[in-house]
Structure 1
Amino acid sequence: MRTGNNVQTLSKLMEDKELAEEFRKFLEYQQHSIENLNFILWYKAYKKKFSGLSGQEQDKSPTCKPSKKRKKLSTSASNSISAQPQNQPFRQEVEEVISVYFNKLSQFELNLPEEIQSYTLDQLRSSTHPDCFLKAYEHVHYLIQSSSIPEFMACKYPQPTKTPSRLRNFFKSL
């Protein structure tokens, strides 16, 4: 809960089951952006699951290449992952995540800048390493932290408004 200038973080908010459920409903029914929270929660679980793999299994999915100026992928190429190496860990799960959160036709597509969307899809062509999702995760986390949480807290704990002094003086004069 927010008290004074204490800023609520997503981690702290999610620790409180009741508050987390209210936040989830707020995202789903008021902001219509539940996919942001679902993606963040999925990413954290995926990163933990990936880190639990043996080193040999992790090596099948190299870390991502640094971002460079690159030529734009065609829409069909960027939405297709059929050429992916099938021996990488969690490839099927990654394909499903791409279909849900990175497909322009999905109702749960993340609201990402084109540069981040293209970069992420490009990285996922050659790896299932969690770092391939990092830029998308950071952007979505920023949106929740800087917009969704403050709006939720303002709805949940509205600040009393002060009556403007001119209006107060007007009522005193009556």
Structure 2
Amino acid sequence: MSILFYRRPNYVARPTGPLNQADCQKYVERTRNNKNAIPPELCFERIISNKAMPEKPCSLEDFMDYLIYIEHDAENLQFYLWLQDYTRRFNATKVAEKVLSPEWKSNELPLPPSNTSDAGAMRPDHSAFLELTDIPRTSKVSIADHQSIVSSTIFTVKSHSEQALGAHSQTGLKWEPFTVQPFRAEIGKVISHYLAPGSPRELNLSHRDRNAILHALQHTTHPSAFTIVANIVELTLRGQSHPNFIRWSICNGNKPRVIFVRTVGISNVLLGFLIAGSLSLSRLSRWYRLCASLAWFVGFSILIAAYKGLCVIMHKARVRNLKPWEQDEEDSTYPHDQALSISDLERPETMKSRRARSMDSFGTTNTFSDDSWVSKYKHKSLFRKVFDRTVWMQDDALRLLQEKIVLQSNLWALIVTLPLTALFVALPAGGLF
């Protein structure tokens, strides 16, 4: 795309109601529109795999911070990361265990009627598993007997935790107290954290999709039971959260700094008009009016770049403002340019605990009102916020995007400045003083 018409990724707003598969399909087209605005080095796959400059500011942890503190929608990424890990672990289990949780298909039988035995509805089908065993089968031994033998001789019976059972009762489903399906206890934790109404990290799902997922999980622990929610979460992350994150990451200054820079840009533009107007009314040579072009060019360049969240001075210095939560992570024993590149073992305890809390699949609710940085940043003076601490810009791919925006700002400033300068130079002298 031409430098002159380069645009940051478009901001994608979230729908007001629960997400469904039809709404998420709209993100696909928006993702195509942002294809040229996001370089391959910052694509969704690289950020999720933490290959996009793992230090700052486009690492997986930064993506998580953005979703927690800016978009307030981190449960999608937390669930997505858990499901990826769960799928790998499930596929790595023994065949004899996986066969107890067959793949779920969307056209499976509906929920059993209310008068059906709950235990019968929830008991997995072991007939396929029995084909893999050497347990003798005669006409006098029923399938139920074989299930009992399998459960008592091969598998360790696991019960759901009290938290999971409470979540199951909230969803209105009846669950067996014991199961031989692999990862059944972990599935119970997922339901209590992400799917049950009022859960700590409740996903924004429609009532219909939620019931379909819970119905699938009622019968199997196979990853395919999460197909509906997996599609919704991935489309939301790819088409909405990821482009917004890249758009936000391009900004190298905090909000007070950007507002200050915009004010400086407007002041330079007004100064240019003041110089050009004063010289036009004087008896001086009209060529003196060319001095206004410098103020106009600098003002428009700063103003256009600041409109896109960039401070030109900080860009030239190759630094960016520290985020408020990053400032609380810094250890005073380390220099500012090294504080964010130290290893996890050397990081302050507040930083490690916050990272562990956000990256934990079964952590607490994603709130930050009690974090120490909130109060510290709130009580900072406006002057300190404008001239806040900075850190070295580490991601070269992100810096190239900033270079495009700065060059684009200079070109547009030149396009606006030239006709303005020509207009004022062509005006006749006023001769007032």
Q: TM-score, normalised by structure 1?
A: 0.81
Aligned to 2:240: 147
Picking from 87, 96, 101, the partner of 2:194 is 101
Question: Which runs of 5 or more residues in structure 2 are unaligned?
Answer: 1-34, 115-167, 252-307, 309-404, 425-433
**Does 2:104 correspond to 1:12?**
no
Q: RMSD between aligned alpha carbons?
A: 3.4
- Choose between structure 1 and 2 for higher RCO, CA contacts under 8 A separated by at least 6 residues: 1
User: In the TM superposition, what are the counterparts of 1:1-150 in structure 2 within 5 Å?
Assistant: 5-6=38-39, 8-14=42-48, 15-16=50-51, 17-18=54-55, 19-67=59-107, 79-84=171-176, 86-150=179-243
Alignment partners' CA distance in 1, 2:221 and 2:83: 12
Letter in 1 for 2:199: S
The 8 Å contact of residues 78 and 122 in structure 1, kept in 2 or not, is answered as: no
- CA 1:100 to 1:5, structure 2 compared with 1: closer, same or farther past 3 Å? closer
Letter in 2 for 1:6: P
The 8 Å contact of residues 63 and 129 in structure 1, kept in 2 or not, is answered as: yes
The 8 Å contact of residues 38 and 246 in structure 2, kept in 1 or not, is answered as: no
Q: TM-score, normalised by structure 2?
A: 0.35
Q: How many equivalent pairs are there?
A: 171
CA deviations 1:125-165 (Å, max 9, x no partner) are 0111111012211110100100001001011125548669x
CA deviations 1:11-50 (Å, max 9, x no partner) are 2113232321111100111111111111011001101111
Give the secondary-structure state (helix, strand or coil) at the position aligned to 2:103: coil
Pairwise CA distance, 1:89: 0.5
Task: Work out the percentage of aligned pairs sharing the same amino acid.
Answer: 25
Pairwise CA distance, 1:69: 9.8
Alignment partners' CA distance in 2, 1:27 and 1:112: 18
The 8 Å contact of residues 103 and 224 in structure 2, kept in 1 or not, is answered as: yes
Bigger shift: residues 50-59 or 79-88: 79-88
Alignment partners' CA distance in 1, 2:63 and 2:107: 34
Alignment partners' CA distance in 2, 1:58 and 1:69: 21
The 8 Å contact of residues 50 and 58 in structure 1, kept in 2 or not, is answered as: yes
Alignment partners' CA distance in 2, 1:79 and 1:4: 42
- CA 1:125 to 1:68, structure 2 compared with 1: closer, same or farther past 3 Å? closer
User: In the TM superposition, what are the counterparts of 1:157-172 in structure 2 within 5 Å?
Assistant: 157-158=250-251, 160=405, 172=421
